């Protein structure tokens, strides 16, 4: 079967089982768009290429499938960089196709030319420039394979226009073998034994779960282990949802804005079982005092994560799920220990910390709506069943602190790169993956304006995404730092002339609500969540509310500023 490059691409996407492609056309990719209507998947036209990548990323996080994005050359390609870097930092499987000028013009500063392979090299798992149509099908197969195996990540394929127009006899490779790429999945049995021994002797073990638990679908095994062995569990921001937030053994997020109980637990545990985490600096605080009283077991598929920041007693490079299954096998056999009893004192200790400093906020003396209360209300209304996307900043931290994630893949947030403007397009992606689910973007008035043009996308495709803006008129998190550490010099963090978000929503053909009174929060949110249209709810909240607890940058986790 003789196909053009454009047809090879689309046929290969079909064989990869791709259902949705997020994209934005241009001169370099027009041949693909010419063929697109003949293929069975949905193309979602966003209003900005950054929106397309974040939407593909949100789709991937929510569904566990590979997100696919298709943009044109030059500016189309460079607009994807932020989204690619976001996915790279959070290990999200994406394949990004960029158009490129014809091979004869590459390097000539041609119209809409950018060296996107060079530009994205530091923020992709791998990237390709396809120079010969004979390599196209194989390259696409490799791209999907690389994106979704090992430690997942974004892969970029750059497609020159003449390659898309050339023809070739089509054959899609069945299996891929790459001599230089062999992710290691199986746990080492000696190391499993070492962990089992450590578990037997520890009195104060702590499970620390991260995004890797969600990525490897290991949540059930974590739940089994925690319950069977009566081990308390804490999570990183990326790990929220990996363990049910409504389980009694869950003690919340650890780190800079983590719970008092989680932070105290880390620095008092005698064994930290870290699964699918990378010990980000926002998690560890001062490295020298992080988990200083305990041994650390670190399970991660990526060897570079291990001992990058924290020295580890038992390193295990393997798939999180397989490691947990192996531990489950070993520990399940052992009936000599009454685990319940062995760890009861420790669990009670953490509960005492939790009771003494619960996740709370000051409700006295302010007539303003508290942003934390808005998140709590969202949780009460949805009972933890919604998919929550967040922007970045205070809104993100409150969404992490005051909403309980019952299931994996229900929190979509830019944990590593901290990308403002991520949440809304990601919510669009998630809504496409789960048309029947309630998808809410928790936003700030600053962040939402970074990709607000995607309202047009949500309206065009009738995606009932809800945007709840915690509108404090500030770039809140930076303002908080200025208040606490920079003598209240609120330079450039006050957003004086925000648009009328309700009118803006209506201008785009979406719904808009504004909430100014505390008593309106629950009823208006309830009404908004019931609509079938994309909706903005602009909630005017306390302008100078801060996120607490807070560990100042560089301080030890136990040095928390509390409410």
Binding site for other proteins (CB under 8 A): 117-118, 121-122, 125-126, 129, 146, 178-181, 302-304, 306-308
Which entry of 125, 141, 161, 370 is annotated as an active-site residue? 161
Mark whether 511 is an active-site residue: no
Give CB contacts under 8 A, 24+ apart, made by 507-512.
Answer: 508/455, 508/456, 508/459, 508/534, 509/459, 510/455, 510/458, 510/459, 510/534, 510/535, 510/536, 511/535, 511/536, 512/536, 512/537, 512/538
Q: Indicate the DSSP class of residue 561.
A: B
Nearer Cβ to other proteins, position 144 or 398?
Answer: 144
Strands 295-300 and 314-317: parallel
- What 3-state class would DSSP assign to 298? strand
Mark whether 169 is an active-site residue: no
Mark whether 251 is an active-site residue: no
Residue (of 62, 60, 80) closest to 70 by Cα position: 80
Nearer Cβ to other proteins, position 117 or 522?
Answer: 117
The least distance separating other proteins from the CB of residue 305, rounded to whole angstroms, comes to 9
Nearer Cβ to other proteins, position 129 or 225?
Answer: 129
- Token reading at 210: 């991260």
CA distance 69 to 96: 5
Which entry of 19, 41, 65, 112 is annotated as an active-site residue? 112
Mark whether 462 is an active-site residue: no
The least distance separating other proteins from the CB of residue 190, rounded to whole angstroms, comes to 20
Q: Are 22 and 59 in contact (CB under 8 A)?
A: yes
**CB-based burial, 95-118: b 16+ in 10 Å, e otherwise:** bbbbbbbbbeebeeebebbbebbe
Which entry of 11, 35, 49, 454 is annotated as an active-site residue? 49
Nearer Cβ to other proteins, position 178 or 562?
Answer: 178
The least distance separating other proteins from the CB of residue 179, rounded to whole angstroms, comes to 6
Number of H helices, E strands in the chain: 22, 20
Q: Indicate the DSSP class of residue 293.
A: T
DSSP string, 273-288: EEES----HHHHSSGG
The least distance separating other proteins from the CB of residue 126, rounded to whole angstroms, comes to 4
Nearer Cβ to other proteins, position 248 or 303?
Answer: 303
The least distance separating other proteins from the CB of residue 123, rounded to whole angstroms, comes to 9
- Token reading at 33: 């768009």
Nearer Cβ to other proteins, position 181 or 224?
Answer: 181
Mark whether 161 is an active-site residue: yes
The least distance separating other proteins from the CB of residue 186, rounded to whole angstroms, comes to 17
Q: Which residues form the catalytic set?
A: 49, 111-112, 161, 477
């Amino acid at each position: 079967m003789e196909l053009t490059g454009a047809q090879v691409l689309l046929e290969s996407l079909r064989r990869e089982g791709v259902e949705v492609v997020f994209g934005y056309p241009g001169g370099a990719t027009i041949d693909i768009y010419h063929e697109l209507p003949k293929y069975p998947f949905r193309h979602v036209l966003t209003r900005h290429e950054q929106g397309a990548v974040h939407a593909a990323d949100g789709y991937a996080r929510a569904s566990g499938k590979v997100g696919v994005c298709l943009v044109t050359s030059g500016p189309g390609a460079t607009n994807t960089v932020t989204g690619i870097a976001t996915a790279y930092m959070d290990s999200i499987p994406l394949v990004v196709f960029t158009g490129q000028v014809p091979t004869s013009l590459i390097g000539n500063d041609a119209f809409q030319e950018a060296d996107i392979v060079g530009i994205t090299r530091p923020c992709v798992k791998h990237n390709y420039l396809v120079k010969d149509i004979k390599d196209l099908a194989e390259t696409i197969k490799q791209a999907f394979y690389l994106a979704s195996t090992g430690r997942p990540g974004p892969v970029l394929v750059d497609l020159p226009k003449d390659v898309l127009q050339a023809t070739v006899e089509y054959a899609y490779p069945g299996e891929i073998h790459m001599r230089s790429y062999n992710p290691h999945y199986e746990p080492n049995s000696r190391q499993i034994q070492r962990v089992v021994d450590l578990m037997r002797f520890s009195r104060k073990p702590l499970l620390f779960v991260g995004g890797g638990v969600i990525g490897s679908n290991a949540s059930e095994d974590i739940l089994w282990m925690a319950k069977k062995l009566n081990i308390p569990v804490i999570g990183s921001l990326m790990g929220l949802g990996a363990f049910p937030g409504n389980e009694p053994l869950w003690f919340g997020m650890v780190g800079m804005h983590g719970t008092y109980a989680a932070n105290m637990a880390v620095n008092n545990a005698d064994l930290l079982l870290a699964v699918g985490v990378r010990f980000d600096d926002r998690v560890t605080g001062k490295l020298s005092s992080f988990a200083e009283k305990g041994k650390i077991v670190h399970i991660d598929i990526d060897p570079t994560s291990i001992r990058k920041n924290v020295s580890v007693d038992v390193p295990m490079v393997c798939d999180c799920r397989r490691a947990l299954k192996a531990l489950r096998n070993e520990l399940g056999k052992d009936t000599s220990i009454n685990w319940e009893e062995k760890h009861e004192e420790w669990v009670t200790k953490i509960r005492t910390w939790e009771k003494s400093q619960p996740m709370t906020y000051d409700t006295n003396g302010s007539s303003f709506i508290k942003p934390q209360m808005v998140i709590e209300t969202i949780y009460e209304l949805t009972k933890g069943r919604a998919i929550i996307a967040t922007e970045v900043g205070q809104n993100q931290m409150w969404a992490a602190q005051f909403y309980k994630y019952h299931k994996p893949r229900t929190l979509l947030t830019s944990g590593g790169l901290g990308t403002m403007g991520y949440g809304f397009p990601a919510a669009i992606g998630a809504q496409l993956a789960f048309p029947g689910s309630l998808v809410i973007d928790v936003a700030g008035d600053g962040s939402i304006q970074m990709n607000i043009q995607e309202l047009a996308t949500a309206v065009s495709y009738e995606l009932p995404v809800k945007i709840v803006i915690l509108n404090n008129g500030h770039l809140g998190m930076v303002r908080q730092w200025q208040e606490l550490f920079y003598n209240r010099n609120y330079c450039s963090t006050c957003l004086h002339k925000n648009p009328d978000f309700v009118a803006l929503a209506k201008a785009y053909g979406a719904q808009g609500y504004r909430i100014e009174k505390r008593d309106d929060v629950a009823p208006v949110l309830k009404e908004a969540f019931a609509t079938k249209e994309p909706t903005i709810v602009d909630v005017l909240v306390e302008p100078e509310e801060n996120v607490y607890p807070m560990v100042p940058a560089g301080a030890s986790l136990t040095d928390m500023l509390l409410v």
